[in-house]
Amino acid sequence: MKYESQRVAWWFFATCMLLFGLQLVYGLIMGYAHAGHDPLHPIIPFHVARAVHTNLLVVWLLTGFMGAAYFIIPEEADRELYWPKLAYVQLIALVVVGVVAIIGFHLQWWEGRKFLEIPRPLDFLVVVDVLLFIANIGMTIWKGKRMTTTSMVLFFGLLMAALLYLPGMIPTDNQTLDSYWRWWVVHLWVEGVWELIMGAILSFLLIKLTGVDREVIEKWLYVIVGFTFLSGILGTGHHYYWIGTPRYWLLIGGVFSALEPLAFLGMAIYAIAMARKGGRAHPNRVALQWTIGCAVMSFVGAGFLGFAHTLPQVNLYTHGTLVTAMHGHMAFWGAYAMLVLAMISYALPLLTGRKRHDTPSASFAFWTSNIGMIAMTLAFAVAGITQVVLERRVGMDFVTVQKEIEVHFWGLLLAAGLFILGISAYIYNFIRHGKPVAEVQGGGDSGASPPAAEAA
């Protein structure tokens, strides 16, 4: 940690751990319900668990991105945060909105629009909160000593993410238009601007962990985010096949979303190539593991499994089945969950001054959670493909098919047990690192610039 104000990142990361842990609980409730056991139905019916599970994911990832930005931007801009106290206020506000939303979901106060269930009054608070965050980051970069590509890509990724939240609030009576704008938010986030954030955080981590020259890493960053937008923007079309929109989206969505794996493949090759090229043995090997793992698993989950059902000929049968859940779980895990966990793994020893990255539990967390997630994805795949064949091809009744595939959800729950074990180890390691240190500890491990003498 080079600057005192970076310390706020720890509180964001701690919030991430809490929300992530809670997300797993709601996932289990849904897994058991799918396996035929819903004892919690009178208190937490499936649609409540589902809204909480997905929204917790979105909130903890956003919290992680914010924490990452508060850690990265001072180092990149070479100065303290412009408004250090505002960062704390902004975190507390985010947590309050999140808690109110989650309690609201249990009382069935929501909007009922997949991923954007947060009720309208809270939407406005989220926007205000994110704008405060953007302002803080923006002023820090503006007043900073240098403006790096990494910090600019991160900033624009976050700014665009905030602006793209707005189309989701356009009022309409038509279900098709409702969906149309909803995907502007959801798709352009996860297959668009969030990838800017991902690219920037990966760049930062690779610069720090491999010691490869910044110019080289940032050049390839441009190429990769270039491919992301080239494929991702028009790739939104794969959500517009079957919702009452013109037929030309079948062609446009099909062609451009077929290109989307290239961006992820590029990201994976880039991370591996930089790690090899660097050859610098950074002591925090677990952080590098998570970084490379993120790039590889995002290709498998988002790129490869996304491609598996993105072509209209296939998607006609898989759209709206558990095949989507298969792709969704590994895509979010690989691209964004692992990214935040990589960032936390890197930042934690620097924030707390305790170098616990070599402990067996850190490595155990990485491997167990990844093997668990791969097994979960396989269970979803078997359940999803069986559902597609029996329901969509053979024409069997929905309820009958769901009974047939209940057994695969026991497999899913076993895999989820492994995953939860891994994440528990990660959280245990986080707790063992303890609270952040009070004093600034020299130049972190960048070694590029002298410690901040002007730190307030």
Partner 1 sequence: MLSKSAARAFFLGGTVLCAVAFVGLTVDTLGRIPAQTHQGEITDAVRRGKDLWDRSNCMGCHTLLGEGAYYAPELTKVFERRGPVFIRAMLTDPEKMYPGQRRMWKYDFSERDKDDLIAFFQWIGKMDLNGFPPKPTLAQMATTTGLAATVDRPQIFNQLCVACHALGGQGGQVGPALDGVGGRMAPAQIAAWLADPPAIKPGTQMPKLPLTDGQRQELTAFLSTLK
Question: From the list 4, 80, 129, 218, which residue makes contact with partner 1 (rule: CB under 8 A)?
Answer: 218
Question: From the list 324, 361, 386, 424, which residue makes contact with partner 1 (rule: CB under 8 A)?
Answer: 324
Residues 22-51 that bind partner 1 (CB under 8 A): 30, 33-34, 36, 38, 41, 45-48, 50-51
For residues 199 and 206, the answer to whether their CB atoms sit within 8 Å is: no
Q: Which of residues 179 and 345 has its CB atom nearest to partner 1 in the complex?
A: 179
Token pair belonging to 278: 């660097």
Per rule CB under 8 A, is residue 223 in the interface with partner 1? Answer: yes
User: Distance (Å, rounded) from C-alpha 179 to C-alpha 112?
Assistant: 12
Share in percent of the chain as helix, strand, coil (round to 5): 75, 0, 25
Per rule CB under 8 A, is residue 282 in the interface with partner 1? Answer: no
Per rule CB under 8 A, is residue 165 in the interface with partner 1? Answer: no
Residues 64-93 that bind partner 1 (CB under 8 A): none
Per rule CB under 8 A, is residue 325 in the interface with partner 1? Answer: yes
Residues 385-404 that bind partner 1 (CB under 8 A): 387, 389, 391-395, 397-400, 402-403
Q: Which of residues 210 and 321 has its CB atom nearest to partner 1 in the complex?
A: 321
Per rule CB under 8 A, is residue 416 in the interface with partner 1? Answer: no
Question: From the list 233, 255, 421, 427, which residue makes contact with partner 1 (rule: CB under 8 A)?
Answer: 233
Per rule CB under 8 A, is residue 441 in the interface with partner 1? Answer: no
Residues 178-207 that bind partner 1 (CB under 8 A): 178-180
End-to-end CA distance of the chain: 14
CA distances to 204, 277, 444 from 274, rounded to whole Å, are 12, 5, 21
Residues 95-154 that bind partner 1 (CB under 8 A): 108, 110-114, 117, 149
Per rule CB under 8 A, is residue 281 in the interface with partner 1? Answer: no
Q: What angle do CA 154, 159, 165 make, to 5 degrees?
A: 130
Q: What secondary structure does DSSP assign to 385-421, as a single string?
A: HHHIIIIIIS---HHHHHHHTHHHHHHHHHHHHHHHH
Per rule CB under 8 A, is residue 322 in the interface with partner 1? Answer: yes
> Judged by CB under 8 A, which stretch of 17-25, 244-252, 296-304, 417-425 contacts partner 1?
244-252
Q: What secondary structure does DSSP assign to 51-103, as a single string?
A: HHHHHHHHHHHHHHHHHHHHHHHHHHHTS--SSHHHHHHHHHHHHHHHHHHHH
Q: Which of residues 74 and 157 has its CB atom nearest to partner 1 in the complex?
A: 157
37 sits in the region (left: phi over 0; alpha: psi -120 to 50; else beta) called: beta
